[in-house]
Chain A
Amino acid sequence: MLFSSIPFLYYFLPCVLILYFIAPRCLKNSVLLLASLFFYAWGEPKYVVLMAISIVLGYVFGLLIEAWRGTKLSKFFLILSLVTSLGMLGYFKYADFFISNFNAVTGLSVPLLKIALPIGISFYTFQILSYTVDVYRGEVKAQRNFISLATYVALFPQLIAGPIVRYSDVAVQLESRTHSISNLALGMRRFIFGLGKKILIANALGELCDIFKESGDKSVLFFWLYAIAFTLHIYFDFSGYSDMAIGLGKMFGFDFLENFDYPYISGSITEFWRRWHMSLGSWFRDYVYIPLGGNRVSKARWFLNIFIVWLLTGFWHGSAWNFIVWGLFFAVLLVIEKLWLLKLLKKSKVWSHIYVLFFVVISFVIFNAADMKEAFQYIGGMFGAGGIPFISDEWSYYLRSYAVVLIVAIIGATPLLKKLVLSIKKKPAGEKVMNVLEPVVMVVLLLMMTAFLVDGSFNPFLYFRF
């Protein structure tokens, strides 16, 4: 079920809110768990069993690891946990990728499994992994209440597109959390603004990207318009979803960590990845990069660690070569920055921003390509390869038609608006005005987004495929 859908907004959410808030404290997790299973089953009725198995395994391994702490058995159960979790992820997400590449290399024709990707498997697998690893490290206690652990894994606000919530971050809240009007108001506001980012901006930019892909009138500037539109689209789509997840979490008393921090204002790729999909970046840092030795090793080993992490990061996003290339593309940039570029970038804010945006735009062209052939074709198109014209009628029309959306998106991708609101709020009169405006804006936004949903057809979430 999509957050940005009528069934979620006007059927599922009101019912869950009522049930949750009338339920006694001891049953609140159970309500959330049942609601989450229903939410997941709505989109994947068959794979709800797979998720249940993953949860049971995570629960059992957590207990076993803790019970045998300090012995080799503890490590054995951890490895077993890693193997089963990653095995399921590998089977459902990557099997056909490996088979098709095996076929390509050997010339054999092993039949593909053609398994539908279970929604959110990458996210909930990583959450379960972080739990068992943290239990092994002794950073958290194993959860003895199955409902609590299942609620943590299946919690619908973050279940299918993150952010990747660490068990350690919500362990206390799973047992006891506070509900208040201010949390509810904050959560609603965050949810509505996230929904707005998704429906009003990301969907419009997504339409533009689809128009470009279907166009028979491509030109150099149309390629650039597409690349920029997609770069903004993926940010508003994913960060909008994260906002909604964080907002919903808040409404139910959870504090999820932030997942985006205006990544497009970064002055380096290193900074970009500290601001983009922060929960994934920190997951790889804590569970892969640092265990590999991080930067406290020889230079060669350090760079190898970086390449391993970014190979896995790319691969996590999808079982296709373009995702691997996308990850390695960042690895190369990060290594270059660490070698000498970072010092240079600090000398010019303007050039550092241009550099970041240029390579991020290129990276997302690779990311969104159907395969590497298309990625090369699109990047070539951006630089006039293939003898395409510089401008075209369609570019001109769609630039004019989407100009306001693009401008709003560009401004919205920076903290300008946030700074403006905060500066207004600093003055007592300004705060009063903003306090009056806020509920009005929320109502207008909700009505407008409902209108776009009722009349709209373009509404996919990009990160559902991960």
Chain B
Amino acid sequence: MPTKVKNIVSVCIMAVLLFGLSFYCWAKPADEFSDSERRKLDQFPELTWDSILSGDFMKDFEDYTLDQFPMRDDFRTLKAFSRFYLFWQKDNNDIYIEDGYASKIEYPMSESSMNHAAERFQYLYDKYMADKACNVYFSIVPDKSYFLAEQNGYLSMDYDKFFELMQEKTDFMEYIDITGLLDITDYYKTDTHWRQEKIMDVAQKLAESMGVTLSGNYTQQTLDNPFYGVYYGQSALPLSPETIYYMTSDILEDCKVYNYETGSPVEMSIYDMEKAYGKDPYEMFLSGSLPLITIENPNATTDKELVIFRDSFGSSITPLLVEGYAKITLVDIRYITSDLVGMFVDFEDQDVLFLYSTLVLNSSTTLR
């Protein structure tokens, strides 16, 4: 191709691309929500003299153009591919893929965050449990990097030290080690969480440590909705969807579940099938992020009651613990302040389990 023709071709192609995408930017209606990133997208900013003079309009407009760019997900995928396979970078937005599992770099270990979490737990213990006849337990759920990071050359915090320090800082509780029962296959490939159908042994270990025996008789159900976990969107790679399995039993069927989000109890179900088909199907387990839930089990093998202070990992394991307790109260102090917990829980003759993932403990500013 002669240089003159090349110049014409170059200008034409670039003009089509530049003006084509430009026209698409102007013409494309704004999307409200990104399913892959699970967040609301910025809308066209308000145009006022004040917003122009302060520069807010320009900044917000730039955010808007990024969020609303045509084929945004495809471009994000192109960027992820470029980082991983062209520049051979180890991670994209701190997400890495190893053995088909997407995981986020959990590094470095934040001792100040661990201190904050331990201080919150101590506060709860001193305020509600110290002078009550209740047994208090603590267990830590390792995140996926516990199994993947160090052996595959990714930045990894010293998990042994992490567990050891957390135990030292919470020596008023009895620690239950569940790490030996878990491996990477117990987690979703595209999500942070563990798979309910794989953690019966963990539930049994926790219950056994608290003096309760679980039979573990459940029927495995399959959710007919493809599950794209939170790392699917963050990695921006075309990862395959997964299947959510959930465990049912007659005991669970008969349970009464109440949500206290509004202050007064509202009945709900163990598995929220509306959320199972929503933006984050993992929220089907006890309806996702809720500050306080009670599960009453009329067919319990004991009259024991359990209070679980938990994060989202607790949502999927709690149904497996229900069998052994007449009542389980789930408290998420990311959504309810510790001072208010006493309005709903008396802690008399109740076992208490603090069940938290390394992800929350290492970034605990949300614990209130």
Interface residues of A (CB under 8 A from B): 1, 5-7, 9-11, 13-14, 42-43, 45-46, 181-182, 184-186, 188-189, 192, 200, 204, 216-217, 393-394, 397, 400-405, 408, 431-432, 435-436, 438-439, 442-443, 446-448, 450-456
Contacts and interface: CB of A to CB of B under 8 A. Distances in A.
A14 B90 contact: no
A14 B18 contact: yes
A426 to B, nearest CB: 13
The 6 closest A-B pairs by CB, nearest first: A185-B7, A435-B6, A451-B79, A451-B78, A401-B90, A14-B22
B78 A439 contact: no
A459 B155 CA distance: 25
18 contacts: A7-B58, A7-B62, A7-B65, A10-B21, A181-B4, A182-B7, A393-B155, A397-B90, A401-B91, A402-B89, A408-B87, A435-B6, A436-B1, A446-B18, A451-B75, A454-B66, A454-B75, A456-B79
Contact of B90 (A43, A400, A454): A400
Residue of A185, A408, A443, A448 with most chain B CB atoms under a 10 A cut-off = A185
B14 interface: yes
Contacts of A443: 13-14, 17
Contact of B58 (A43, A182, A402): A43
Interface string B297-309: 0000000000000
Given A45-B52, A45-B55, 15 more contacts: A5-B62, A10-B18, A10-B21, A11-B65, A181-B4, A181-B8, A185-B6, A185-B11, A204-B87, A397-B155, A431-B3, A439-B6, A447-B17, A448-B78, A448-B82
Nearest to B53: A45
B24 to A, nearest CB: 8
Contacts of B65: 6-7, 10-11
A181 B11 contact: yes
B107 to A, nearest CB: 8
Contact of B10 (A10, A14, A189): A189
B88 A403 contact: yes
B153 interface: yes
Contacts of B279: none
Nearest to A5: B62
Interface residues of B, number: 49
Interface SS of chain A: helix, strand, loop or mixed? helix
B121 to A, nearest CB: 25
Given A182-B7, A405-B89, A435-B3, A454 B22 contact: no
A376 B53 CA distance: 40
B38 interface: no
B331 interface: no
B78 to A, nearest CB: 4
Contacts of A1: 58
A446 B21 CA distance: 11
B76 interface: yes
Contacts of A45: 52-53, 55, 58
A454 B4 contact: no
Residue of B5, B65, B91, B154 with most chain A CB atoms under a 10 A cut-off = B65
B218 to A, nearest CB: 41
A46 B50 CA distance: 12
Contacts of A405: 87, 89
B130 to A, nearest CB: 35
Nearest to A12: B22
A9 B3 CA distance: 26
Contacts of B2: 435
A439 B61 contact: no
